[in-house]
């Protein structure tokens, strides 16, 4: 809590330095503001216990602090702190431990169990083998070949490029830069533009669609859109979702069907698969077009969930 005043100059300096460190790493403004405030509350707790040096913090100390948090009142509404808010306090301490280790300190003892929220939606992640099955299913996902080639191209940009639905909808043919092995995303979140790399396989998928399948759609020359409908108009988001359902059904894989796959599931899946391949978080952040590392950090937690299943 920000209004809690610290006495120790040492703790004050640590809070300020921690805030600056989070800002430099590129975390969201809300994180840069809130986590140091949570750390300040932890330091205030330590001062009340006459612990004036971080070297004296033990695992018992952090457990006592967490018990205090679980019992203290919520200042904004009646009742205790929510599980989500308790997890934010945990995040503040764990990031502070990381901060200390990055500044040549051994860190502090933190052995706290993440609070699970029963109402929290679990993200269903496809395995890499299931992704392969979906690509294979585009060979028979529709009776017409040019529809099937479009289905495969949709998977290539949504999964392999990690695009959001709206980003894929607004792609134009000219945004596929074959010579540079990139896709230009002009309609990113918050109107941010970015280039997304593509490998040879996915470039061939798009090449087959653009030059072999797209001309079979009615009035294809009248639209600049990469993905067009049967009538030659820009394919909308609902149509993307419907084609994904058709691909899922074509796999005839009950496990994939049970996961209730959405377009965003494919984006979550590629991010998790990149982490499994030990791609740096900063690179995944740029690939997905996230404005801050905080948005990308969710996949580290997601990866642990997937590996523990």
Q: Which residues are catalytic?
A: 164, 189, 264, 267, 290, 299
Q: What tokens were used for 231?
A: 């009538």
Instruction: Evaluate the CA torsion angle 139, 145, 151, 153 in order and state its sign.
Output: positive
Please state the length of the chain. Answer: 309
Burial readout 99-119 (b: 16 or more C-beta within 10 A, e: otherwise): bbeeeeeebbebebeebeeee
- Using CA atoms, how far apart are residues 286 and 271, in angstroms rounded to an integer? 11
**Residues 6+ positions from 273 with CB-CB distance below 8 Å:** 128, 131
**Residues 6+ positions from 307 with CB-CB distance below 8 Å:** none
- Using CA atoms, how far apart are residues 65 and 285, in angstroms rounded to an integer? 33
Q: What tokens were used for 298?
A: 């969710």
Q: Are strands 194-197 and 176-177 parallel, antiparallel or unpaired?
A: unpaired
């Amino acid at each position: 809590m920000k209004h809690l005043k610290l006495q120790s100059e040492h703790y004050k300096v640590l809070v300020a330095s921690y805030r600056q460190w989070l800002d430099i790493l590129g975390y969201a403004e809300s994180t840069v503001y809130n986590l140091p405030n949570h750390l300040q509350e932890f330091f205030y707790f330590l001062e009340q216990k006459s612990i004036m040096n971080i070297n004296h913090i033990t695992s018992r100390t952090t457990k006592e602090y967490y018990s205090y948090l679980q019992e203290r009142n919520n200042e904004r509404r009646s009742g205790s702190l929510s599980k989500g808010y308790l997890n934010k306090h945990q995040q503040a301490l764990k990031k502070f431990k990381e901060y200390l280790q990055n500044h040549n300190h051994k860190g502090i003892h933190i052995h706290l169990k993440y609070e699970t929220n029963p109402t929290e939606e679990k993200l269903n992640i496809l395995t890499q083998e299931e992704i392969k099955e979906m690509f294979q299913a585009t060979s028979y996902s529709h009776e017409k070949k040019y529809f099937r080639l479009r289905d495969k191209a949709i998977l290539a940009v949504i999964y392999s490029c990690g695009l959001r639905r709206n980003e894929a909808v607004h792609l134009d043919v000219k945004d596929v830069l074959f010579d540079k092995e990139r896709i230009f995303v002009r309609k990113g979140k918050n109107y941010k533009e970015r280039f997304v790399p593509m490998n040879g396989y996915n470039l061939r998928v798009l090449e087959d669609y653009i030059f072999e399948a797209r001309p079979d759609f009615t009035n294809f020359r009248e639209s600049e859109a990469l993905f067009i409908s049967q009538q030659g108009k820009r394919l909308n988001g609902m149509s993307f979702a419907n084609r994904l359902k058709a691909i899922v059904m074509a796999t005839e894989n009950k496990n994939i069907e049970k996961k209730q796959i959405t377009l965003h599931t494919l984006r979550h899946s590629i991010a998790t698969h990149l982490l499994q391949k030990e791609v740096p978080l900063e690179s995944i952040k740029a690939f997905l077009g996230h404005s801050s590392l905080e948005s990308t950090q969710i996949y580290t937690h997601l990866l642990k969930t997937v590996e523990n299943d």
